[in-house]
Amino acid sequence: MFSKILGTLLLFTLIVSSCKHEERSETTGWKYNDPEWGGFEKIDYKGQVTAPNLVLIEGGTFVMGQVDEDVMYEWNNMPRRVTVSSFYMDETEVSNIAYREYLHWLHRVYKTYPEVYKKALPDTLVWREELAFNDEYVENYLRSPAFNDYPVVGVSWVQARDYSKWRSNVTNEMFLIERGILNPNPQQVDSDAFDTKAYFAGQYQGNVRKNLEDLTNGGERPARKEDGITTPDYRLPTEAEWEYAALALVGNQAPSKDEIYTDRKYFPWNGYTARHKRHDKHQGEFLANFRRAGGDYMGMAGRLNDKAAITAPVRSFWPNDFGLYNMAGNVSEWVADVYRQTTFTDLSDAQNQELNPYRGNRFEEYVKDENGNYVEKDSLGHLKKRFVEDEEVKNRDNYRKADLRNYNDDDSEFVTYGYGKSSLVNDHSRVYKGGSWEDRLYWLSPAQRRFMDENKSSRSIGFRCAMTRLGAQAGNGDADGNYFGKAPKVRRKYK
């Protein structure tokens, strides 16, 4: 009896392995993953992995812009319906210890180029004030372990963007190490630093542990993008993504399966106040870190309202219904967009900006030689890039300019920006969102938007990263909602 069962199991195993081995192309009939048929590979892909500290934000449609009276009369975010594709967002603001890890890496790796490390240093002097004693923050806020889990500040938009690029590379290197392809290589220096694009272009080898099997030529090969091991780049979220994630309207969906929200939101929580409304021990407590009134940053001793005179730890207060912390208060946050007074240029252009709206495109491409090969990477280990010129795209149908930061500025009959002359708004003005620890409650609404030069910084502005979601918009699950990977974190506490 046992031998009969064993024989059945062996036969089943052979059938399954045979079916897997002989999977064929639907269009040519050629076998996948078979050296005798050319070795074209089709991997068993389970979906995009959730990279460190990210939460899946399932996309959808929402009304972007002002949801209440514009008491400042700026009219710079008129309501309009848009759709945001699914993406990932950092669960928290980037903390001091996370940013110090970045500084440590730059100092360790770019030994010949100390200016790279110096360029990344936050401006700790943002804590100084003419009539206040904040010198201890200048000395200790970034470096002291007492502030490890507090949001990094004094970081410009450019520095936040550069951090995102670095994080993309070291995270993808980690994925290759965990897959057993590379060994950790703390000895990498200068141009030997890991860069995802350089690795895929064959310009980085690293400390190889065991490459993948080469089904086409035999032997081994490095990983490729098609293997699905790495992820897209970390980046700053767009303004639309940030606003959508902050509102987290997913928590207000009706119990039915209809596309209905039960309530609008003015803040990342329900209601028009910043206090906990439920009748429990937390009733009346603040839901965010902000300045309540003139001179009141944290309440009275014995009854501190937000328990933070300046910033608070990045996991303070309840997360919103997407599982994101401090999407209102604590620090304002840089987003990717270039600032203009309105979020779309005119009604004729609104239709073209209803899906993933964003202002700030300045298209780039990697530099290649006359044979179409990537030129040698630069001294920091990155593939060389250049900005595309308008002349190169004049015959395209989907876009005619390569730099869209000032799209329609010159031909608008309503507003003209005198760059750096009659206006502070120019192509280097970047949007930041959300209120901070030193703002009044008004600025905590996700619809509010302000701007600052991309090379300047503040003690009240930090950032968090985002990442594009590839493939299924609802996550790595089947029709029954069974997730193969890390499921999105959805909490129903922030009310």
The verdict on 26 and 47 lying in the same domain is: no
- Which region holds residue 47: left if phi is over 0, alpha if psi is between -120 and 50, else beta? left
Q: What angle do CA 174, 179, 184 make, to 5 degrees?
A: 45
| Residue range(s) defining the domain that contains residue 301 | 43-179+229-361+432-468
> What is the residue whose two structure tokens read 């310009």?
203
Query: What average pLDDT does the segment 79-87 reach?
Result: 93
- Confirm whether 423 is domain-assigned: no
Token reading at 464: 């968090």
The verdict on 6 and 57 lying in the same domain is: no
Instruction: Report how far apart the first and last C-alpha atoms of the chain are (Å, whole number).
Output: 62
Token reading at 192: 């030997």
Token reading at 150: 């507090």
The C-alpha atoms of residue 204 and residue 185 are separated, in whole angstroms, by 12
The verdict on 128 and 249 lying in the same domain is: yes
Q: Which of 209-223, 264-278, 328-342 has the lowest mean pLDDT?
A: 264-278
The C-alpha atoms of residue 443 and residue 328 are separated, in whole angstroms, by 8
Task: List the one residue out of 233, 143, 160 whose CA is nearest residue 196.
Answer: 233
Q: Which residues make Cβ contacts (< 8 Å) with residue 428, sequence separation at least 6? A: 338, 453, 454, 455
The verdict on 318 and 250 lying in the same domain is: yes
Tell whether the model's pLDDT for residue 82 goes beyond 60: yes
Query: What average pLDDT does the segment 470-487 reach?
Result: 60
> What is the residue whose two structure tokens read 């918009």?
473
pLDDT in tens, 182-199: 999 999 999 999 999 999
For the chain, the domain total comes to 2
- Confirm whether 457 is domain-assigned: yes
The verdict on 116 and 22 lying in the same domain is: no
- Confirm whether 207 is domain-assigned: no
- Confirm whether 113 is domain-assigned: yes
3-state DSSP call for residue 59?
coil
Q: What angle do CA 146, 147, 151 make, to 5 degrees?
A: 165
The C-alpha atoms of residue 339 and residue 426 are separated, in whole angstroms, by 8
Question: What are the two backbone dihedrals, phi and then psi, of residue 166, each rounded to the nearest 5 degrees?
Answer: -60, -45
The C-alpha atoms of residue 448 and residue 294 are separated, in whole angstroms, by 21
What residue type is 242 in one-letter code?
A: W
- Which region holds residue 116: left if phi is over 0, alpha if psi is between -120 and 50, else beta? alpha
Q: How would you classify the pairing of strands 466-468 and 461-462?
A: unpaired
- Model confidence band, residue 1 (pLDDT cutoffs 50, 70, 90): low
Tell whether the model's pLDDT for residue 170 goes beyond 70: yes
Q: Kindly report the number of other CB atoms within 10 A of residue 224's CB atom.
A: 14
pLDDT in tens, 111-131: 999 999 999 999 999 999 999
- Confirm whether 320 is domain-assigned: yes
Identify the pLDDT of residue 19: 47
Token reading at 321: 């219904």
- Confirm whether 340 is domain-assigned: yes
The C-alpha atoms of residue 47 and residue 91 are separated, in whole angstroms, by 20
Q: What is the pTM of this model?
A: 0.89
Tell whether the model's pLDDT for residue 294 goes beyond 90: no
The verdict on 169 and 50 lying in the same domain is: yes
The verdict on 69 and 145 lying in the same domain is: yes
The verdict on 10 and 101 lying in the same domain is: no
The verdict on 76 and 137 lying in the same domain is: yes
Task: List the one residue out of 465, 347, 467, 337 whose CA is nearest residue 404.
Answer: 337
The C-alpha atoms of residue 377 and residue 192 are separated, in whole angstroms, by 10
The C-alpha atoms of residue 266 and residue 247 are separated, in whole angstroms, by 8
**CATH number for 451:** 3.90.1580.10
Query: What average pLDDT does the segment 48-63 reach?
Result: 94
The verdict on 49 and 28 lying in the same domain is: no
The verdict on 445 and 323 lying in the same domain is: yes
- Confirm whether 212 is domain-assigned: no
Report the residue count for the chain.
Answer: 495
Tell whether the model's pLDDT for residue 29 goes beyond 90: yes
Question: What are the two backbone dihedrals, phi and then psi, of residue 125, each rounded to the nearest 5 degrees?
Answer: -75, -5
- Confirm whether 217 is domain-assigned: no
The C-alpha atoms of residue 233 and residue 164 are separated, in whole angstroms, by 8
Cβ–Cβ under 8 Å, residues 430 and 333: no
The C-alpha atoms of residue 246 and residue 464 are separated, in whole angstroms, by 12
- Model confidence band, residue 320 (pLDDT cutoffs 50, 70, 90): very high
Cβ–Cβ under 8 Å, residues 81 and 273: no
Q: How would you classify the pairing of strands 332-338 and 461-462?
A: parallel
> What beta strand segments (E) does 234-327 contain?
234-235, 299-300, 303-304
The verdict on 166 and 137 lying in the same domain is: yes
CA distances from 291 to 131, 265, 299, 439 (A): 18, 21, 9, 5
The C-alpha atoms of residue 273 and residue 28 are separated, in whole angstroms, by 62
Beta-bridge partner residues of 333: 433, 462
Mean pLDDT (the chain, rounded): 87
